[in-house]
Amino acid sequence: MDELKRAYETMGLPENASKEEVDKRYTTLMRQARARQRENPGGTDQADFEEVTRAYRYILDEDNRKASEAFNQQEYGKYKKMAGSAEKVDHFWRYYKFHVLGGIIALILVIVGINSYLDHRAEQERLAKLPPVDLSIMFLGEYYMSDSTGKQTEEADIEEALLKQFPEFKRFKVNFTYVPLDAKDQMDIASQQKAMVVLATERPDIYITDTAAFNWVGPQGAFMNLDSQADIAKLLKPEDGYKQKTEEDPAEHTYGVKISDSPIIKNIPMQAKDNYIASVREGSKNTEKAVQFIEKFLETKQ
């Protein structure tokens, strides 16, 4: 007598009994065994019920095995002789796909990290070969990086154009920060927020602002008082000086110089919605060169 047939007989069921009938029969036998155990604690009902439990589990395992075989036949039968390999691959992917994907992502991150490091190192080596920065300049306002024909430009193009106008300097560093006066959408709001961060973290020698940006930054004390610069005062026309009061000094002083009319600015590949106002940052390490920079704009306007 085979094991499956014996299991059904142990439970008092025919071999063609359904799973529902097996479950129901097991529940009935379990209740009966518990009732007899209460009536006769020292009897053999516990051992008998353990045999019923083994038979019940065997029947369930056999049902699960048949169901699994039927599923595998349906899923992998089309692969015929390769069915076993296909099943193994499918099971491996099902149980380890997140591990595999995680490994791939980790590998990609490592590759990206290595490339970023190599690019950073190459850029540092390139910068190390360049001469020291004579002047760092921040364009702050509603400026657009494009030339007179509308062609888009970059900060490097502005730096190159400045070097042509100022051959006495060997290197400029330009930071372009677009700041709209009135925020019309989320992008404008984001630009204003970015500008606040840049102002707090960057320390250029020269600020070139439009009127709105000058009036925004001027009272904060970021600009140097130019009244004490005799050479600038000598060249400066009254209409070209931009005065401002600061939080620390209530008296008006000249903190900016209009350079929009200078031929030099016309050779810089960028466009302004308003005008160009040059200011020296308070505490600049290159104050002498910054003043020289503004003087040349004024000289070309004479």
Instruction: Look up the pTM and report it.
Output: 0.59
pLDDT of residue 137: 95
pLDDT of residue 57: 86
Taking residues 62-86, what's their average pLDDT? 62
Taking residues 189-207, what's their average pLDDT? 87
| pLDDT higher at 116 or 85 | 116
Each residue's pLDDT tens digit, 259-276: 998 999 989 999 988 899
Kindly indicate the confidence band of residue 26, based on its pLDDT and cuts at 50, 70 and 90. confident
pLDDT of residue 288: 93
Q: What is the CATH number of domain 133-301?
A: 3.40.190
pLDDT of residue 269: 92
pLDDT of residue 162: 95
pLDDT of residue 43: 63
pLDDT at 83 over 70: no
**SS3 labels along the chain:** CCHHHHHHHHCCCCCCCCHHHHHHHHHHHHHHHHHHHHHCCCCCHHHHHHHHHHHHHHHHHHHHHHHHHHHHHHHHHHHHHHHHHHHHHHHHHHHHHHHHHHHHHHHHHHHHHHHHHHHHHHHHHHHHHCCCCCEEEEEEECEECECCCCCECCHHHHHHHHHHHCCCCCCEEEEEEECCCCCCCHHHHHHHHHHHHHHHHCCCCEEEECHHHHHHHHHHCCECCCCCCHHHHHHCCHHHEEEECCCCCCCCEEEEEECCCCHHHHCCCCEECCCCEEEEECCCCCHHHHHHHHHHHHHHHC
Task: Specify which of 73-77, 148-152, 209-213 reaches the highest per-range mean pLDDT.
Answer: 209-213
Would 3-79 and 133-301 be classified into the same CATH topology? no
**Mean predicted lDDT score pLDDT of the chain:** 84
Percentage of the residues of the chain whose pLDDT score is greater than 70: 87
Each residue's pLDDT tens digit, 273-291: 889 999 999 999 899 999 9
The structural domains of the chain, with segments of one domain joined by +, span: 3-79, 133-301
Each residue's pLDDT tens digit, 229-267: 988 988 989 899 999 998 888 899 999 999 998 999 989
Kindly indicate the confidence band of residue 173, based on its pLDDT and cuts at 50, 70 and 90. very high
CATH domain 3-79 topology: Helix Hairpins (1.10.287)
